[in-house]
Amino acid sequence: MQQKNMEMSAPKIEDVIADGQAAQIAEMPESATPAEISQMTGPQKVAALLLALGSDWGQPIWADLNDDEVVSISVAMSELGNVTNEVTQALLMEFVSQMSMAGALLGTASSTERLLAKYLPPDRLSAIMEEIRGPAGRNMWEKLSNVQASVLASYLKNEYPQTVAVVLSKISCEHAAGVLSLFPEEFSTDVVQRMLGMGSVQRDVLEKIENTLRSEFISNLSQARQRDSHELIAEVFNSFDRQTEARFMATLEEADWEAAERIKTLMFTFDDLAKLDKSSVQTLLRKVDQNVLQLAMKGAAEPTREFFFSNMSERAGKMLRDDLEVMGPVRLKDVDEAQTGMVKTAKDLGAKGEIVITKSGGDDELVY
């Protein structure tokens, strides 16, 4: 961490010196205690230096950190407490000293990529970095491990069984099992038999498969998996309370009526729970807290309310009706939160395959 920040911020220290702050460093008392800074962790040292640099000088460094580094340094900074002037100067001297040492600069794939990006076109830079980061197989199989089983199976079912056997033998057993289960029975049986009889794969054969996957599958995967913007907005609208949703929807209808209608069809609302089949709604009711159910029912439309009552036992339905009758006024915000919570629970259950979620009760099925 410390070396990485040295590499990133060397020009910034020169700027600090040029700005007249070198005098403060040069005047650092010899009595400053190295033992005090030797007890500091890497993130703590970086946090102290960034505090000393301030927002203007520190901004370029923050911009080069990844998310994990930002979190680590931010936590260290929040817990740093008082840092004396002597410790700050000692840290700066340690920093400058290490920067002046032979070999203090650290070359990494990331720093190399940033440098090459200034001189090379994106396509050539991408090809070079792919080679630098090699070996190709490691990156390829890691990428395949992050591809949904259904997507990978859809591509591999058109390949030779022997090729599929090699690919499945290179990814995790769990992922391979998921992909294999999605193939037609005859094809999957053929692949399994070839995996059983497969010995070591020659390097040139493996490289050919990797190159094919890279050029025909991985390179096109990001485009194929681009998320529809209407789906994204539909999920955003699902998270609004009903007043905010109505306000945004009305504005959108005026600006783009067709987009608003498409978003409405993609949204899954509390009232859509009334389209669940009997088994699914009963599973949902078992998972929902009784207090949440009462609040959600308090603000539910009558058809939706009756749907839930019809899927409860007579005793449970009567108890809920009685509870709703004696329940006083409740805040609309609390009702919205309860209904949103039930929708989220339904989506989670749908994602796990425990219930089936549909929008229209027909073939238009959405699985979350």
Q: How far apart are CA 226 and CA 223, in angstroms?
A: 5
Q: How far apart are CA 162 and CA 167, in angstroms?
A: 9
What confidence tens digit (pLDDT) does each residue in 125-157 have? 766 665 555 433 345 777 777 777 888 888 888
Q: Which of 23-32, 246-255, 307-316, 333-342 has the lowest mean pLDDT?
A: 23-32
Predicted pLDDT of residue 139: 56
Whether domain 134-224 has CATH 1.10.220.30: yes
Q: What is the mean pLDDT of residues 149-176?
A: 85
Q: What is the mean pLDDT of residues 70-87?
A: 79
The larger pLDDT score, comparing residue 100 to residue 232, is at 232
| DSSP bridge partners of 358 | 365
pLDDT at 293 over 60: yes
Q: How far apart are CA 132 and CA 75, in angstroms?
A: 33
Predicted pLDDT of residue 17: 36
pTM higher than 0.75: no
What confidence tens digit (pLDDT) does each residue in 204-252 have? 787 788 777 776 676 555 444 445 667 777 777 777 777 777 888 888 8
Q: Buried b vs exposed e over 240-263: b needs ≥16 C-beta within 10 Å?
A: eebeebeebbeebeeeeeeebebb
The larger pLDDT score, comparing residue 99 to residue 39, is at 39
Spell out the domain ranges in the chain. 2-101, 134-224, 228-266, 268-368
Same CATH topology for 228-266 and 268-368?
no
> Domain 228-266: which topology?
1.20.5
Q: How far apart are CA 350 and CA 44, in angstroms?
A: 44
Classify domain 268-368 by CATH architecture: Orthogonal Bundle (1.10)
SS3 358: strand
Q: What is the mean pLDDT of residues 109-125?
A: 71
